[in-house]
Structure 1
Amino acid sequence: MTDAMPQAVESNVPQVTPRERLMDAATRLFCKNGINATGIDAIVSEAGTAKTTLYKNFKSKDDLVDAVLKAESEAWRGWFIAAVERAKTPREKLDSIFPALKSWFAEETYYGCVFINAVGEHSKDETRLRDITIRHKSFVLKHISGLAEAAGAKKPDFLAHQIGLLMDGAIVAAMVTRDPTVADAAGMAANALLDEACGPPKIRRTRRAGLQGGAAALAKEDLSVVD
Structure 2
Amino acid sequence: MIKKTTDTRDKILKTAEELIYQNGIHAMGMDLLVKTSGVARKSIYRHFANKEDVASAALTERDERWMQWFRTESDKGKTPQERILNMFTVLKSWFESDGFRGCAFINTAGEVGDPEDPVRQIAKMHKQKLLDYALELAEQLNVEHPDDLARQLLILLEGAITMSYVMGDGSAADNAQDIAKLMLERASSRP
TM-score (structure 2 length as normaliser): 0.92
Q: CA RMSD in A?
A: 1.7
> 2:136, 2:93 → 1: CA distance?
23
Q: CA deviation at 1:23?
A: 0.7
Counterpart AA for 2:158 = D
SS of the residue aligned with 1:136?
helix
Provide, for residues 86-111 of structure 1, a one-character-per-residue CA deviation record: whole Å limited to 9, x for no partner. Answer: 11111111111111100000011111
* Deviation for aligned residue 1:125: 4.8
SS at 1:96's partner residue? helix
| Bigger helix fraction | 2
Matches within 5 A, 1:110-189: 110-189=100-179
Residue 187 of structure 1 deviates from its aligned partner by 1.1
2: CA distance between counterparts of 1:52 and 1:97?
42
Q: Is the 8 A contact 1:103 1:180 kept in 2?
A: no
Tell which has more relative contact order, 1 or 2 (C-alpha 8 A, sep 6+): 2
Indicate the residue corresponding to 1:217 in structure 2: none
Q: Which string of whole-angstrom CA distances, capped at 9 and with x for unpartnered residues, describes residues 49-106 of structure 1?
A: 1111111111111111110111011001101110111111111111111111000000
Q: For 1:163, give the aligned amino acid.
A: L
Match of residue 214 from structure 1: none
Partners of 2:34 and 2:189 in 1: CA distance: 53
Instruction: Report what 2:55 is aligned to.
Output: 65
CA distance in 1, matches of 2:60, 2:115: 21
Structure 1 distance, partners of 2:79, 2:142, is 11
- Give the distance between the partners of 2:116 and 2:170, measured in 1 at CA: 31
Gaps of 5+ in 2: none
Determine if the alignment matches structure 1 residue 196 to structure 2 residue 186. Answer: yes
Whether 1:77 aligns to 2:67 is yes
Higher strand share goes to which structure? Answer: 1
Where in structure 2 are the equivalents of 1:97-116 lying within 5 Å?
97-116=87-106
> Residue 49 of structure 1: SS of its match in structure 2?
coil
Percent identity between the two aligned chains:
35
Q: Tell me, yes or no, if the aligned pair for 1:105 and 1:179 is still in contact at 8 Å.
A: no
Distance in 2 (alpha carbons) for counterparts of 1:39 and 1:51: 11
- Partners in 1 of 2:10 and 2:30 — Cα distance? 15
Counterpart position of 1:213: none
Q: What is the aligned partner in structure 2 of residue 32 from structure 1?
A: 22
Deviation at 1:124, TM superposition (A): 4.7
Q: Distance in 2 between matches of 1:102 and 1:23?
A: 26
Q: How many equivalent pairs are there?
A: 187
Aligned-partner SS, 1:88 = coil
The letter of the residue matching 2:108 is A
